[in-house]
Structure 1
Amino acid sequence: MFKPFGLFILISCFCFQAYAKCALRQSYGLLNEGLLINDLATLSSAQMSGRKTGTIGSAKARRFIQSRFKTIGLAYFSEYPEFIQQFQLSKRSSDKQGFNIVGWIKGTSDEQQFIVVSAHYDHLGEKGRHVYYGADDNASGVATLLALASKVSELGLAHSVIFLATDAEEKGLYGAKAFIKNLPINKNAILLNINLDMLGEGGRRNKLYTTFSRGDEQLAKLVENVADTAALCLISGHWKSRNFSQFKQKFNWRKASDHAAFSKVGIPYLFVGGGVHTRYHTPKDNFENINQDFYISAAETAWLILQAADSYQAL
């Protein structure tokens, strides 16, 4: 049995080690950092005008992502020629069309089983003279998705991987819902959804959060294992993130982004992202306010998660 003083020292050492790890801002050099940052800057630039669904800015973002998919060497499904899945937002808005961008890479050994990596590319657009650039929300997720696609194209994974850039997430997850409703493969072939949303803000403690299918012990273990090697604080559970009084309603993190559409039909998910912050849904969510060191580490952590998922026992 530890003496109280010894226990105090042990806890103090553990806390110091945890804080020191959180204080790290480093890169393992796992991804093409220059291209990652360039993609983030392009998607959150003024020319994209905030990427609101149905706008010229959204179309520019769509063409950019489509071009990057081609350059990376992704294949497209016959159902979605040139990577484009067009969908109607709702029956009451027939003039409103959304466009998902969908590509994939065949697995090296389990090609009939798929992991879906998703990130929404739409944001809030312009309001008056203000542009809502959406650098963190969610240019950060899409640029990471592109970096992961490049890495899988280079190295390959055992399972096939679908890369899904969704539209109209801000309006009600319409893009993810449309993808689930019109899948190009059998639903049972999808083993896991990894959803990337807001990876550019880690706060003072460099925290990145993960939320996953309720009660899935193997996903919990996967996150724990990645947390041991990640160059930032990888926290299990978004509910541990800070909530700000400026938001009048609490966030239900299990339904807060596109992973909810997968969860609703019984597909396991792992949601990776930061918590809310003071620049959330404001014009100040711009490229200049992204902590690039943290963001690079967050993108690399997403790659570690995808690699771990590829060997995830339940798959």
Structure 2
Amino acid sequence: MLKYLFLITLHCALFSFEGSSQTKESASLFNEADLLKHLKSLSSDAFEGRRTGTQGAEKARKYIINQFHALEVLPFAKNYEQEFTFYKKRQNFSAVNVLGMIKGSESPKKYIVISAHYDHEGIKMGKIYNGADDNASGLSALFSFAEYFQKNPPKHSVVLAAFDGEELGLQGSKYFVQSGVLLHTSIGCNLNMDMISRSDKKELFAVGTAYNETLKSIVSTTKRIEGFNLVAGHDGYDGMANWTYSSDHGNFHKKDIPFLYFGVDDHKDYHEPTDDFENIHPEFYINAVKTIISVFEQVDTSKSF
């Protein structure tokens, strides 16, 4: 009798443990293993460096669309693709932004644009520039945001924007803000992610706080993760290099749209064929995405946007 009682007690304990484990998992912001898997895939040789107008870029675009569809992200317009052309370096380029949308639960006509460019340098002199940090890292974070929104619907509508042509002069974001698909007054804020997966100093910079007091307050009060530093700066007023126009957020700033750009210092593999998955810092990267989501949560609940 005691034997059977012991087995019943053990079974209940195991069931309780599984339940608590599932509860903990369900409470997580996103699947960390999937985040790393996406980065590894998108920065593999199969995508040939994702240069605008190439087969590698087309493969990346299809990958993004498949993930948006799987994560129940709606197309921003009739479909996910926003096609455009531009002339650069004595060449005409055909490019495509990939735009998804999550409708806001309280302010559906006010938008927060969360962006990351998906293009990189392609193939040069027979070497593939895979761009793991620049910018498969930001792009893969868009999928973690989409996963997060499945259980945490945003109050504002959110555009998840994978921009093309960033490496050729911020062309994708330039077209987006000039196209009129969204009125400038309906965009409350842009959160842009470009190079967020590695830092020897464990520092992620948040650029843009010098231009907006609400964003300055949000960044300063965001809860810090132990061993990870979120640092405001690089706005042109602190003696550091000015990153105000260094990535796609620059085109939002030109339209007086509040922005935060999340990025790390340049490293030895920046714009080199050695910017590979093996050189990212997985723990730092995961903490970076968690922190950016925490910032978004405050932006989304702020009445200023």
One of 249, 260, 281 as aligned partner of 1:259: 249
- Does 2:152 align with 1:152? no
Read off the aligned partner of 2:96 and give its amino acid letter. Answer: F
Show the counterpart of 1:44: 43
Query: Alignment identity in percent?
Result: 36
Q: Which has the larger radius of gyration?
A: 2
- Determine the C-alpha separation between the residues in 1 that align with 2:90 and 2:79: 25
After TM superposition, give the deviation of residue 177 of structure 1 in Å: 0.4
After TM superposition, give the deviation of residue 229 of structure 1 in Å: 5.1
SS in 2 for 1:150: helix
1:117-163 per-residue CA deviation (whole Å, 9 max, x = no partner) reads 00000000111221111000000000001111221133101111000
Q: How many residues align?
A: 277
Alignment CA distance shift 1:215-1:230 (3 Å): farther
SS in 1 for 2:97: strand
More RCO (CA 8 Å, sep 6+): 1
- Determine the C-alpha separation between the residues in 1 that align with 2:124 and 2:89: 23
One of 102, 118, 121 as aligned partner of 1:121: 118
- Does 2:79 align with 1:82? yes
Query: Contact 1:210/1:236 (CA < 8 Å) preserved in 2?
Result: yes
One of 98, 102, 107 as aligned partner of 1:101: 98
- Determine the C-alpha separation between the residues in 2 that align with 1:99 and 1:93: 19
Query: Contact 1:88/1:94 (CA < 8 Å) preserved in 2?
Result: no
- Determine the C-alpha separation between the residues in 1 that align with 2:233 and 2:241: 12
Read off the aligned partner of 2:281 and give its amino acid letter. Answer: N
- Does 2:227 align with 1:237? no
- Does 2:120 align with 1:130? no
Structure 1: unaligned runs, 5 residues or longer: 1-27, 244-249
- Determine the C-alpha separation between the residues in 2 that align with 1:150 and 1:118: 15
One of 163, 177, 180 as aligned partner of 2:177: 180
Q: Which runs of 4+ in 1 moved over 3 A?
A: 91-95, 227-231
SS in 1 for 2:167: coil
1:201-220 per-residue CA deviation (whole Å, 9 max, x = no partner) reads 121x3111001153311111
Query: Contact 2:206/2:232 (CA < 8 Å) preserved in 1?
Result: yes
Read off the aligned partner of 2:59 and give its amino acid letter. Answer: K
Show the counterpart of 1:71: 70
- Determine the C-alpha separation between the residues in 2 that align with 1:189 and 1:229: 32
Show the counterpart of 1:217: 213
After TM superposition, give the deviation of residue 282 of structure 1 in Å: 0.6
- Determine the C-alpha separation between the residues in 2 that align with 1:94 and 1:132: 20
Alignment CA distance shift 1:263-1:215 (3 Å): closer
SS in 1 for 2:75: coil
TM-score by length of 1: 0.83
Structure 2: unaligned runs, 5 residues or longer: 1-26
After TM superposition, give the deviation of residue 75 of structure 1 in Å: 1.3
RMSD between aligned residues:
2.1
Moved more, 61-70 or 86-95: 86-95
- Determine the C-alpha separation between the residues in 1 that align with 2:154 and 2:171: 29
1:234-267 per-residue CA deviation (whole Å, 9 max, x = no partner) reads 0011369xx9xxxxxx953000000000000111
